[in-house]
Structure 1
């Protein structure tokens, strides 16, 4: 059955009333975009989720405080420098980024949210950042989403954008998004950096609930290397310009909005997992018939996060014992003697014991750009899917020389 939405181009500028820009300010390398700006031409509601790492970067602290107020019209972000572990100066710099954007956009300073990503422990080169913000304001356009998505990349090999349109209470509504992430990916809230926009009219409490719902089923279900960043955040702005009757109570309209938002987030989350540092394959782990959805999520995340599973995928080794081992320490409730495991559509274990299978066929299944593992716990109705990637020598090479 087809979904009630269609994919559209434009990322964060696909919804009505959103402009964006991305420029090269010299923070990273000469000629590489590294400052981004997203702007709503109309007042907007805002919601966000943030890293649970005890060490939080200055922009996370500033933006979390502002999002609590529920309103924002702009997001300014830089790459190349995380502005993390930079003390009071880091807070001042994050506030100054917002202040400069607000002055140039002629909006209240409190309505500008801030994000940073890159190397930890270095002060921001504020002269370059402020020049970049000015350039972004001058270049804002409805076609600027792709440049903005490029400007937040660090070790990413490609920008990540997604958008869908659908009919909500008789009006066409659009949700767009962009994200970055390649390494230090093991979210326990949202993702590395993700910015979402929508022209839907929706109440603030339901916008917050929808974001939490989508994040739990997308960004919180990916892992590249087991490291939860100091800078992770996911933000959404909703300006209501679609003109739909406001979604103010749970019901069919809210359910449709949640599902569409989740689709955008899943698309971005898969792109992050596929672009993991040094990765050659996207790994998808689906757990079915778990006692509860939470059990399914715990089980799927454990398998996709296992370095032994990830290394086996890279080596095209159908070592299903590593999969059931990860299930065992996941915290999920299940009977080990009822577990079935499939690589693609090929069963390799039944009722917790080995099946005879063709090693050449399984090696071929593990050689494609996407590797799918299905785990059937045969214990209930809970289902969940997690995404990750293989673990290669290039991951070590990239992170051994990240600062140099």
Structure 2
């Protein structure tokens, strides 16, 4: 159900919810069992379709997870019971053999991160398209440039949109890199694959054909799940922190946009307006208000996600021995909140920039007023004085924009390349 205290949470759907995660765990167990049979480690009679789990199972497994410290212990027990009841005793016997609970939890979380990063990437792409359009359209729309809250020099709204776009494109780069590197986890009890190695040796001794080596079986698992092949990484949490960093970078880029929009929608500035949808932005007591709620909610995520990312790094630094104590467990709910909140924030940002209302007349009016009365062109005059050139009487702010148009062009070209890349490789 939607989160009452995180408005917009429904945009994340079932991402990282209990039933979806348990479904991924079953998928992992299925792929592993299939791999054991295919490699000749488990007998052909062990091949079976594992039973599905539902919301009722998730609730029961959550209640029982305290006993084993994680939900996999109860899940394996439940699956074995159901397999035996269905007459698949061999499958029940061979289920989960060679794996450990961390393998299943880690790989299930990695699969969830694949989904989260893919969804963030898609929303970043929508935001980039909208921002590229804004940058092109408003490449010559003059406005006041502000530094440290004060009027500085003239700029254009196109350049501001290009600056937002650059942050979105950088985030997309990080998201795609992290997504491509997400690995399978299969290491057995202490990351040595000792149980699987023993089973492989026994299978090889009992048959004419040699069974596959243990790492080859983990490669089959990775391929079946669409993940990167990897040796065990039980206490090297770089895959998790890398993905967390990418999600944090995405919300950071969105937060920057939200901060600017919140400033520029203030009534005393009124240079921008959020998308005007009926029922959005109203007040419970003040009928005249049109609150910039999308920007408010995006900024909320930008404020909270760095703490979640920091928790992942702290957990990674405290991963001890061959299987972490407590620090591994601290990642789970942190990743759920980080993944869901990032998806929501980037989706909200894509909607925000796609429907952003640009009040070019207000921008031009404020820029002209600042140029004639507020010294918006004072830097130009100071530079000319240093160079021994005469002052210019023309107070048109559009005459002092540097290479804003060229910067816009280069950033938009980069966005166009990303768009074309995405179309070729969706």
Larger CA Rg, structure 1 vs 2 = 2
Q: Which has the higher strand share?
A: 1
Q: Which has the higher helix share?
A: 2
Higher RCO structure (Cα 8 Å, ≥6 apart): 2
- TM-score w.r.t. length of structure 1: 0.24
Structure 2-normalised TM-score? 0.23
